[in-house]
Amino acid sequence: MTDPRTRKPVLEVEGLQTVFHDLEGAWPAINALDLTIYEGEVLGLVGESGSGKSVAGFSILGLIDTPGEITAGRVLFQGKDLREMDEESLRKLRGADLSMIFQDPLTTLNPVLTIGEQMGEAITEHGQADAEALRRRCIDTLTKVGITSPEERLSQYPHELSGGMRQRVVIAIALLNSPKVIIADEPTTALDVTIQSQIIAEMQRLQHDSGAALIWISHDLGVVAELADRIAVMYAGDIVEIGTTDEVLDRPRHPYTRGLLDSVPGDVPPGEPLRQIEGSAPPLNARPFGCPFHPRCAQATDLCRSSDPAPQGDGAGRIWRCHHPITAQEAA
Amino acid sequence: MLTFVTQRLLQSVAVLFAVSIAVFLAVYAVGNPVDLLISPEATQAERAEMIARLGLDRPVWAQYLTFLGNALQGDLGTSFVHGQPALSLILSRIPATFELVVSALLLASIIGIPIGLWVGLNDGSLGARAVMTGSILGYSIPSFWKGMVLILVCAVWLNWLPASGRGDTVTVLGVPFSFLTVDGLRHMAMPVINLAIPNIALMIRLTAAGASESARMDYVKFARAKGVRDTRIVRRHILRNILIPIVTVLGVEFGSLIAFSTITETVFAWPGMGKLLITSIYQLDRPVVVAYVMLVTFIFVTVNLLVDFAYAALDPRVKLSERMS
Ligand SMILES: Nc1ncnc2c1ncn2[C@@H]1O[C@H](COP(=O)(O)OP(=O)(O)O)[C@@H](O)[C@H]1O
Ligand code: SF4
Ligand SMILES: [Mg+2]
């Protein structure tokens, strides 16, 4: 695969911060997020549950509700800042150029509306289409995502379809308007393993055929490793490491990435226990001072406990955020 | 679908049977109507003759079967006071009550649903909280008290509205209606408002709770991620979901307003079936009381049946569970 960083960026996220308010104050769920998505690439966004991946996805689309608030940053799509746009222009982008796939197909579709209506509105809310053209487009897209007897599905309700089928419908909806960027928020996590791998394979094919850039969010580094051209690792609302998939998998620079790699089942000889990272991600209102990972990090020093490391890079798009990055020799 | 319909029909018939037994036991077996019907000076022989004529010497179950047999033929007894069949007496009062109840529910929906929607979608705002607090008053103030305050303010002090009766009516297909004349509407205003107030509050709370819950659902967020306009999200995604509880509650409220319009009809001297009930109770006109209870039960059961069918029509998931069962 060619390095996606040689292509044109489609989406540039700069310093994006989203906080959640409670009675005690405002707690950042994502902190000054910087991320560039290149045309047609697959970017894997990984991190443990609670690290801010979903909030990052929703913040890009401007879909944060109270008590959440996007407090800083820019989201540039084709050079235009989404955060400066009025709500109507943003609405026109959503579901057209930028689309999203949610985690749980059982709750994503409205239980009392037919599949046909829920697909159709994604088209009609973005432009005119006569009934027959609309039908054709829905049927074609359902066929594309591997749904059998698509005509019948249009008049069915979500509960008449299996979880895997529903997620395919959701994927079809995300593809309807040929988006430039698709954000897929753990689209297979709620499905059982066999369906999961089918859908991953299909997403790969669909992404390749459509040429859309795909942000694939997952807590599972193993899944992301299969799919992604590049990987961004998130911890406590920060991106702590970015690189191509090979770079990140073969030469992780951040101890957290290292920990995630060690806990991927495929890498451990059978019989040996998986090494999980001790502890869990901090809650929003208890972010450790200094490097937020220090309570769980074996390499932590006094420096780590007193100062939050700034992002560093190699100038070619490889970025890490650690006072004591793992060197190439250590990684090997 | 057919099994669902027959199942529900059978249930409704069972409820009617159960109520008929309860009413029969309560009104005919407890206490002796002879004491009320015959003068205290009557001789023992006269008493015995009366008891035999009314069939009161027969066992309870036999008396019940006679009652049931007559009831099935539409004969619920003859009013002691008016000397006409109890059922037709009540039926002649139904239009007046229906007129009040339907108008009250219409008013409650027209006012309550939009306000509830606004409250639900502006969850936690000062205005929304004020409306929610106010709505508690709406259904905790007793009906008779509200009615009297209305009369005091609108009729006695301000002299705006008439305080009693139906006013001028227009007869359509042999049935008199008040809502077709200005005078009739003026007479309806206070009783309708009185009946509507708790239902406005109920509609507001029901719609608000449904809307704020629905607005937080993933399918609403997904609709926004699809680029669907807010107006359409409210109309199709949110309202369509909360229509199900709204229709259910409206149906149930229709039944209970028919049954409980008694107080309002009494306060405003509205000649509906509730007013007739109260009068009949005072006059110990038992056949009318029994007929009233049976008829109201019948209306209640029928409305619930219709609500269930409406529910099945509105919620696609209901059909599935019924197909599986
Ligand atoms: N609506 C919300 N209200 C308060 N806190 C929230 C809300 N949504 C997310 N958070 C918090 O933000 C953090 C990141 O959440 P999220 O982005 O969902 O994590 P994940 O990486 O698992 O997708 C978590 O600590 C979560 O508790
Ligand atoms: S900065 Fe220190 S504590 Fe944080 S990851 Fe690096 S070594 Fe560990
Ligand atoms: Mg998530």
A94, B227: Cβ pair inside 8 Å? Answer: yes
Locate the DSSP E strands across B107-230.
Answer: 170-172, 175-177
The pTM of the full predicted model, rounded to 2 decimals, is 0.85
Identify the residue with better confidence: A154 or B28. A154
Domain stop point among B48, B67, B90: B90
Domain total of chain B? 2
Distance A48 CA to ligand 3 centre (A): 9
CA quadruple A42, A47, A49, A53: dihedral sign: negative
A100, B222: Cβ pair inside 8 Å? Answer: yes
Architecture, CATH, for domain A4-97+178-331: 3-Layer(aba) Sandwich (3.40)
For ligand 2, whether the C-beta of A309 sits within 6 Å is yes
pLDDT (tens digit per residue) in A158-185:
999 999 999 999 999 999 999 999 999 9
Q: Spell out the domain ranges in chain A.
A: 4-97+178-331, 112-176
Please name every residue paired with A70 in a beta bridge, in sequence order, or none if there are none: A18
Please name every residue paired with A46 in a beta bridge, in sequence order, or none if there are none: A218, A233
Give me the domain span that covers residue B13. Answer: 2-90
pLDDT score of B309: 83
Look at residue B20 and tell me if it is in a domain.
yes
Residue B128: its chain A contacts at CB < 8 A? none
Look at residue B287 and tell me if it is in a domain.
no
Q: Is A298 helix (H, G, I), strand (E, B) or coil?
A: coil
Is the peptide bond between B245 and the residue preceding it cis, with omega within 30 degrees of 0?
no
Percent of chain A with pLDDT over 90: 80
Look at residue B225 and tell me if it is in a domain.
yes
- CB pairs under 8 A, 24+ apart, for B24-33? B24/B63, B24/B64, B24/B67, B24/B290, B25/B60, B27/B286, B27/B289, B27/B290, B28/B63, B28/B64, B28/B67, B28/B286, B28/B290, B29/B60, B29/B63, B32/B56, B33/B286
Look at residue B105 and tell me if it is in a domain.
yes
CA A224 to chain centroid: 10
Flag whether pLDDT at B35 surpasses 70.
Answer: no
Q: Are residue B108 and residue B159 in the same domain, yes or no? A: yes
Residue A94 has its nearest CB partner, among B219, B225, B236, at B225
pLDDT (tens digit per residue) in A186-233:
999 888 888 888 899 999 999 999 999 999 999 999 889 989 999 999
CA B77 to chain centroid: 23
The answer to whether A246 and A290 have CB atoms below 8 angstroms apart is no
pLDDT score of A43: 97
Question: Scanning every residue of chain A, which has its alpha carbon at the shortest distance from the alpha carbon of B230?
Answer: A91
pLDDT score of B2: 66
Look at residue B199 and tell me if it is in a domain.
yes
pLDDT score of B33: 62
The CATH number covering residue B256 comes to 1.10.3720.10
CA distances from A165 to A119, A192, A323, B168 (A): 14, 12, 46, 62
pLDDT score of B44: 82
Q: Are residue B86 and residue B101 in the same domain, yes or no? A: no
For ligand 2, whether the C-beta of A28 sits within 6 Å is no
pLDDT score of B324: 42
- How many whole angstroms separate alpha carbon A272 and alpha carbon A275? 9
For residue A213, which of A90, A93, A91, A99 has the smallest C-alpha distance?
A99
Please compute Rg for chain A using Cα positions.
Answer: 20
Flag whether pLDDT at B281 surpasses 90.
Answer: no
CA distances from B11 to B15, B18, B305 (A): 6, 11, 9
Residue B169, token pair as written in the block: 């009516």
A125, B228: Cβ pair inside 8 Å? Answer: yes
Look at residue B308 and tell me if it is in a domain.
no
Kindly report the number of other CB atoms within 10 A of residue B253's CB atom: 21
- Chain A, 87 to 126: residues with Cβ < 8 Å from chain B are 91-96, 99-100, 102, 104, 107-113, 117, 121-122, 125-126
Distance B82 CA to ligand 2 centre (A): 95
- How many whole angstroms separate alpha carbon A282 and alpha carbon A209? 40
Look at residue B124 and tell me if it is in a domain.
yes
Chain B interface, best mutation among A58, A66, A121, A162, by max B CB count within 10 A:
A121
**Which pairing describes strands A319-320 and A238-244: parallel, antiparallel, or unpaired?**
antiparallel
Domain stop point among B74, B90, B106: B90
pLDDT score of B36: 65
Q: Are residue B182 and residue B101 in the same domain, yes or no? A: yes
For ligand 2, whether the C-beta of A291 sits within 6 Å is yes
Residue B183, token pair as written in the block: 């005078």
Residue A73, token pair as written in the block: 């940053």
Q: Are residue B135 and residue B256 in the same domain, yes or no? A: yes
Distance A68 CA to ligand 1 centre (A): 9
- How many whole angstroms separate alpha carbon A155 and alpha carbon A115? 6
Flag whether pLDDT at B107 surpasses 50.
Answer: yes
Domain stop point among B227, B254, B271: B271
The answer to whether A299 and A255 have CB atoms below 8 angstroms apart is yes
